[in-house]
């Protein structure tokens, strides 16, 4: 079934490309593609970007998945594209005719219950051309482990065939499994990796690592160091999201953050054009602080959880943005990845040749094992060259996972978060405490009831005394009448001869 769908998708792409070859046809679209899966029609997101329904697009031939709306949606979740989803119980392939070149592919997921489909049953794989992007993926487990309501997975792929097929396939090892997708985003990008000459950090002397033209990458982290998060509309044309770096700082030694001096503007160069990172990344920074003695006794460190068993491209963005750092050997520092020396003496002014001029450096590290591990990125002052300031600086950080030898970028799902286990001794004490509380409540209620009965009895005795006192001054008829008034008129009056009464029974 899967092969049939892929063949059909290839035929659609071939047909589309044959039409493009006709004189009247135009080139494949170079604009961004924003596909809202399961939506009834076109809509715009919170940033004003237009999304197209997959049902109304040419990218979804013979669409067989059902459209669903999320049964519940948290207020923090953007309505577009996360309100609706396309659910597949069998493999399905979207086909995107695209010009050759590199793209960002973003897959948007909001794990939710869809009618009779539980969020916990969504285990599936996603492939794009020859690459496996996700395998046995659970959006629910992943979002829960990260404490995120929704997820975006971003990949960078090189399209060389003129068409990109993206297949969603439910897992065959999980009962009731299904695949789903809320949104698919495709953004053509310039060669942001083609000029990269990263150094492989492996414990010996660093050696140059070649990024193949067809290399597939997954964006794992994109951090605006020392600044606030940057939304896609504020990026420099590639609709990227830059996170605040502070959640990843190790310990309390977070250094200091600052912005560019009012007299310093960002000056891009041919080797670092503006699409590498927006001005806001280079206009803010984090350094270790002004105290040289303190700086020499710690490393400014970020800890980044990643999938083990992959190579990672670590791109660090630098820019000196405040006076008096304008000359070489004023601020020199070491860069360390997983406790290995990546850069012995980083001198930003020495690299950029001027204040306000951005640069970036690429490194590749290897993570061993399986499951998840932590990638450490650290900075520390270098003292050998006796710089003017014992300090370090960083403006931005990106971490990309590289495909393995199986053309896969897929990691493992995180383990479910453990449920709290009650201490048996604590449970026993809680039960004992509850028993004490119940006993006290019982005593209070019983005491209250006794007090109520006593009050009623005293009230009755008081009325009885009043009745007896009144009887001393009344004749028999009046006494009986008085008793009748007291007991609500239920006592029958017995009138004896010689005791005259008025017509209405009152005593005269």
CATH number, domain at 98? Answer: 2.60.120.430
- Tokens describing residue 76: 């923090």
Find the Cα–Cα–Cα–Cα dihedral 213, 269, 341, 306, rounded to 10°: -50
Residue 419 lies in a domain: no
**Boundary (domain end) residue, out of 189, 207, 241:** 189
Could you read off the pLDDT of 357-367 as tens digits, one per residue?
999 999 999 99
Contact 103, 156 (CB under 8 A): yes
Residue 81 lies in a domain: yes
- Give me the domain span that covers residue 485: 474-508
> Which residues does residue 335 pair with via DSSP β-bridges, in sequence order?
343, 379
Euclidean distance between CA atoms 403 and 431, whole angstroms: 55
Whether residue 126 is found in the same domain as residue 5: yes
Taking the CB of residue 97, how many other CB atoms lie within 10 A of it?
Answer: 20
pLDDT greater than 90 at residue 487: no
**Boundary (domain end) residue, out of 189, 204, 232:** 189
Tell me what percent of the residues of the chain surpass a pLDDT of 70: 76
Positions of E strands within 83-140: 84-88, 92-97, 101-109, 124-128, 131-137
- Non-local (6+) Cβ contacts of 131 within 8 A are 155, 157, 216, 403, 407, 408, 409
In the chain, how many domains are there?
4
Residue 280 lies in a domain: yes
Whether residue 361 is found in the same domain as residue 327: yes
- Non-local (6+) Cβ contacts of 485 within 8 A are none
Whether residue 315 is found in the same domain as residue 436: no
* Residue 507 pLDDT: 35
- Average pLDDT of the residues in 232-245: 97
Euclidean distance between CA atoms 192 and 400, whole angstroms: 12
Cα 31 from chain centre? 27
Whether residue 375 is found in the same domain as residue 429: no
Residue 245 lies in a domain: yes
| Residue among 157, 186, 181, 154 nearest 169 (CA) | 181
Lowest mean pLDDT among 11-15, 33-37, 162-166, 471-475: 471-475
Question: Who has greater pLDDT, 502 or 76?
Answer: 76
pLDDT greater than 90 at residue 485: no
- Cα distances from 106 to residues 216, 239, 240, 271, in angstroms, run 13, 10, 10, 27
- Average pLDDT of the residues in 289-298: 97
- Tokens describing residue 185: 């985003």
pLDDT greater than 90 at residue 103: yes
Contact 337, 365 (CB under 8 A): yes
Contact 400, 218 (CB under 8 A): yes
Residue 354 lies in a domain: yes
Positions of E strands within 319-395: 333-337, 340-346, 359-366, 372-381, 393-394
**Boundary (domain end) residue, out of 189, 221, 249:** 189
Whether residue 28 is found in the same domain as residue 55: yes
Whether residue 297 is found in the same domain as residue 268: yes
pLDDT greater than 50 at residue 479: no
Whether residue 46 is found in the same domain as residue 129: yes
- Average pLDDT of the residues in 27-39: 81
- Non-local (6+) Cβ contacts of 380 within 8 A are 298, 299, 300, 333, 334, 336, 392
Q: Give backbone dihedrals phi and psi of 352, rounded to 5 degrees, phi first.
A: -90, -25
Residue 336 lies in a domain: yes
Whether residue 34 is found in the same domain as residue 119: yes
Whether residue 52 is found in the same domain as residue 149: yes
* Residue 421 pLDDT: 58
Whether residue 90 is found in the same domain as residue 199: no
| Residue among 161, 29, 155, 30 nearest 104 (CA) | 155
Residue 61 lies in a domain: yes
Whether residue 163 is found in the same domain as residue 119: yes
pLDDT greater than 50 at residue 483: no
Whether residue 250 is found in the same domain as residue 383: yes
Euclidean distance between CA atoms 382 and 380, whole angstroms: 6
Phi-psi region of 473 (alpha: psi -120 to 50; beta: other; left: phi over 0): alpha
Lowest mean pLDDT among 29-43, 90-104, 238-252, 484-498: 484-498
Could you read off the pLDDT of 318-359 as tens digits, one per residue?
999 999 999 999 999 999 999 999 999 999 999 999 999 999
Could you read off the pLDDT of 127-156 as tens digits, one per residue?
999 999 999 999 999 999 999 999 999 999
- What are the DSSP calls for 195-219, one per residue? T--PEEESSSS-EE----TT--EEE
Confidence band for 12, pLDDT divided at 50, 70 and 90: very low
Tally of residues, the chain: 508
Contact 112, 85 (CB under 8 A): yes
Residue 232 lies in a domain: yes
Question: Who has greater pLDDT, 460 or 60?
Answer: 60
- Average pLDDT of the residues in 34-59: 96
Could you read off the pLDDT of 398-422 as tens digits, one per residue?
999 999 999 999 999 998 866 665 5
Lowest mean pLDDT among 44-48, 122-126, 436-440: 436-440
> Which residues does residue 346 pair with via DSSP β-bridges, in sequence order?
333
* Residue 430 pLDDT: 52
């Amino acid at each position: 079934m899967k092969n049939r769908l892929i063949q059909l998708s290839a035929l659609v792409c071939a047909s589309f490309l044959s039409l493009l070859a006709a004189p009247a046809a135009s080139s494949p679209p170079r604009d961004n593609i924003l596909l809202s899966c399961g939506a009834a029609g076109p809509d715009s997101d919170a940033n004003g970007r237009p999304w197209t329904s997959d049902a109304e697009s040419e990218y979804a031939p013979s669409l067989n998945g059902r459209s669903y709306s999320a049964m519940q949606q948290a207020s923090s979740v953007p309505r577009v594209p996360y309100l609706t989803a396309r659910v597949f119980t069998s493999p399905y392939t979207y086909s995107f005719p695209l010009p050759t070149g590199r793209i960002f592919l973003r897959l948007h997921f909001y794990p939710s219950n869809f009618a009779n489909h539980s969020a916990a049953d969504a285990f599936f794989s996603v492939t794009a051309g020859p690459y496996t992007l996700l395998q046995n993926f659970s959006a629910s487990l992943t979002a829960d482990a990260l404490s995120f309501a929704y997820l975006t997975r971003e990949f960078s792929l090189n399209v060389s065939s003129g068409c990109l097929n993206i297949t969603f396939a439910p897992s065959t090892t999980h009962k009731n499994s299904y695949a789903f997708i809320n949104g698919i985003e495709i953004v053509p990008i310039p060669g942001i990796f083609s000029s990269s000459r990263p150094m492989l950090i492996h414990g010996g002397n660093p050696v140059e690592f070649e990024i193949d033209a067809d290399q597939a990458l997954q964006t794992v982290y994109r951090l605006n160091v020392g600044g606030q998060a940057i939304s896609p509309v504020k990026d420099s044309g590639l609709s990227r999201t830059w996170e605040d770096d502070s959640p990843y700082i190790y310990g309390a030694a977070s250094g200091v953050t600052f912005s560019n001096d009012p007299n310093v503007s960002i000056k891009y160069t041919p080797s670092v054009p503006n699409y590498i990172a927006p001005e806001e990344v280079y206009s803010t920074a984090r350094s270790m602080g002004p105290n040289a003695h303190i700086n020499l006794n710690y490393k400014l460190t970020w800890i980044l959880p990643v999938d083990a068993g992959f190579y990672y491209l670590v791109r660090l963005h630098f820019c000196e943005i405040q006076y008096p750092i304008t000359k070489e050997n004023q601020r020199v520092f070491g860069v360390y990845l997983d406790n290995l020396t990546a850069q012995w003496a980083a001198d930003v002014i020495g690299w950029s040749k001027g204040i306000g001029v951005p640069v970036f450096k690429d490194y590749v590290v290897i993570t061993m094992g399986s499951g998840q591990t932590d990638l450490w990125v650290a900075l520390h002052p270098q003292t050998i060259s006796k710089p003017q300031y014992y300090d370090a600086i960083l403006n931005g950080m990106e971490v990309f996972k590289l495909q393995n030898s199986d053309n896969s970028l897929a990691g493992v799902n995180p383990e479910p978060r453990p449920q709290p286990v009650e201490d048996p001794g604590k449970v026993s004490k809680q039960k004992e405490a509850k028993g004490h509380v119940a006993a006290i409540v019982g005593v209070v209620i019983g005491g209250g009831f006794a007090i109520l009965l006593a009050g009623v009895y005293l009230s009755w005795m008081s009325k009885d005394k009043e009745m007896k006192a009144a009887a001393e001054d009344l004749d028999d008829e009046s006494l009986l009448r008085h008793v009748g008034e007291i007991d609500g008129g239920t006592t029958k009056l017995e009138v004896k001869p010689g005791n005259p009464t008025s017509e209405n029974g009152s005593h005269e």
